[in-house]
A and B are shown apart, each in its own frame.
Chain A
């Protein structure tokens, strides 16, 4: 049964964020022969709109105004609600970024719509969209349907694969001049403070070398970084080294951090607590290095090495360098 699916493609500095492009793929599945329309909201969003077309949207609705230069719950929710009222999509998919997770349920509640959270799978069964979400830190999966007129769903980053982009594909970009009345804006941003200068793209990384409490110090993360560099990947961390101040929270992987789906995940000195494992269910191949042979990380690793990561990792790095020449 064909449906019209809205996909909110979040833009940062004019470019589409990865998750928005990823979720165009399950939107196509959910559309079941119908239409996929990307929605872009911001200030200067032409590039993001074009990317949305290239990665699978049939058309784009662009809400482009200075009012949206800084994210605000009320302005963004209002814009999405106005668009849903006007265009009547069957479902609205939003990527689970901090902003997406904020305004999607607000917009849904304004419309009396259900909002399915943490979606990692989308299918169509008997004409209905079925959403899969992990619960209890990923130990259990729930399949759910949404029975409101408009279905809202918040989809996890790294759970879906972007389509191959087609730069030549044409698609209409419709400008919608929606703005929010000033007195409807209840929270105002008065200062934006950037403390974390490093950016690390964990969600798009093919290889991640992650460290836990077992890494022992900030300096030892350099050993992991060398392996990551040799493999063309990035480093990551669990909560423990971040709370110990050894590495910035930009690198956090887990229930409170990022969800990742690399081809190769090397867990160094990580015990395998449920809150961390919840963030790596998308990893294709997991290698674990831990001194404790009973660490639960070994239950989910393809290859486990019981040993001291400070000695194991440099050997791996040397072998990788030899292999790659």
Chain B
């Protein structure tokens, strides 16, 4: 099967974002990484390929600035990587989905093969909209399953395990389809010296779709939430004294 994994490069989620002097988020000063859920999607796709045969292709919207992320993906299971150069400023998820759908068609044309499965991470750590799988599936005219924690081939379709609040559902869906991946019970693999060197040698073609997608959702104001006023920190001689002192404050604050 031909599997395409859509990858987004985001600022490292462990670093707190602040606003610059010009009122914009200071993301350019934070190290870029492959979005966590996309890493899980790539690992799941790679395991599927290793078990069932096929090819894993990754693609990301960006410029030279995403080259390292693409190389990292090639080093942990992706066979091919492409950069989609249609970067639309302030794209909302609908516009992004339109570009991604056009990119799917473009890559199918370039590679001469259709993709059977398009995987996306459930949400990206920056905006956490969690809507790409859904809107992309609609733009492609494919069915989708989100919150996927596993999938395997079954009688010509895919058997998909979907996490629910109470456990999981098993679904069946035909291909081509879109799968929105969340965290399975395994971690993505680490690259090896060998895989890193092989990745470095690979070409990362840049393709352009030329799509002019509009974003109905427009951000009109960016600001920081009101900071909670500094609280009180208690550290008495014993844990018991600290607890009693805190308790008195809670009673005073009438929160019990």
Contacts and interface: CB of A to CB of B under 8 A. Distances in A.
A98 interface: yes
A136 B126 contact: yes
A195 B235 contact: no
A303 B130 contact: no
A285 interface: yes
Contact of A303 (B139, B167, B218, B234): B234
Interface stretch (B104-112, B190-198, B236-244): B236-244
Interface stretch (A50-58, A216-224, A309-317): A309-317
Contacts of B244: 315, 319
A286 to B, nearest CB: 8
Given A187-B145, A195-B167, A303-B250, A137 B97 contact: no
Interface in A280-320: 281, 284-287, 293, 298-308, 311-313, 315-316, 319-320
Interface in A169-218: 186-196, 199
Given A142-B221, A143-B220, A287 B233 contact: no
Interface residues of A, number: 82
Contacts of A143: 219-223
A18 interface: no
B231 A140 contact: no
A231 interface: yes
A66 to B, nearest CB: 18
Interface in B1-40: 11, 13-14, 16-19, 25, 27
The winner among B130, B182, B253 for most chain A CB atoms within 10 A is: B130
Interface stretch (A24-32, A37-45, A102-110, A160-168): A102-110
A122 B178 CA distance: 32
A312 B242 contact: yes
Nearest to B245: A305
Nearest to A302: B231
Interface in B208-227: 215-225
Nearest to B235: A306
The winner among B134, B137, B222 for most chain A CB atoms within 10 A is: B134
Contact of A196 (B131, B166, B217, B221): B166
B173 A303 contact: no
Contact of B168 (A106, A112, A115, A193): A193
Contacts of B134: 73, 102-103, 105-106, 109
B228 interface: yes
Contact of B146 (A102, A293, A312): A102
B231 A301 contact: yes
B87 interface: no
B224 A109 contact: no
B143 interface: yes
A99 to B, nearest CB: 9
A274 B16 contact: yes
A229 interface: no
Given A114-B92, A264-B255, A250 B165 contact: yes
Contacts of A145: 217-218, 220
B128 A293 contact: no
A115 B127 contact: no
A90 interface: no
B39 to A, nearest CB: 14
Interface in B143-172: 143-147, 159-160, 164-172
Interface string A2-22: 000000000000000000000
B86 interface: no
A115 B93 contact: yes
Given A135-B127, A140-B19, A304 B256 contact: no
B49 to A, nearest CB: 22
Given A106-B134, A109-B139, A311-B243, A140 B234 contact: no
A144 B250 contact: no
A287 B18 contact: no
A102 B137 CA distance: 11
B171 A117 contact: no
Contacts of B247: 315-316, 319-320
A236 B231 CA distance: 22
A117 B216 CA distance: 13
Nearest to A198: B166
A274 B14 contact: yes
A220 to B, nearest CB: 15
A84 interface: no
Nearest to A106: B134
A135 B27 CA distance: 12
A141 interface: yes
Nearest to B226: A141
Contact of A306 (B13, B14, B220, B233): B233
Interface of A: 73-74, 98, 101-103, 105-106, 108-110, 112-118, 130, 134-148, 151, 186-196, 199, 231, 250, 255-256, 263-264, 273-275, 281, 284-287, 293, 298-308, 311-313, 315-316, 319-320, 323-324
15 contacts: A74-B143, A98-B165, A101-B130, A135-B127, A141-B225, A145-B218, A148-B216, A188-B171, A193-B170, A263-B255, A299-B228, A302-B232, A307-B236, A312-B240, A323-B251
Given A135-B127, A301-B231, 11 more contacts: A102-B134, A115-B217, A117-B130, A137-B125, A140-B223, A140-B224, A147-B216, A199-B166, A264-B256, A274-B16, A315-B240
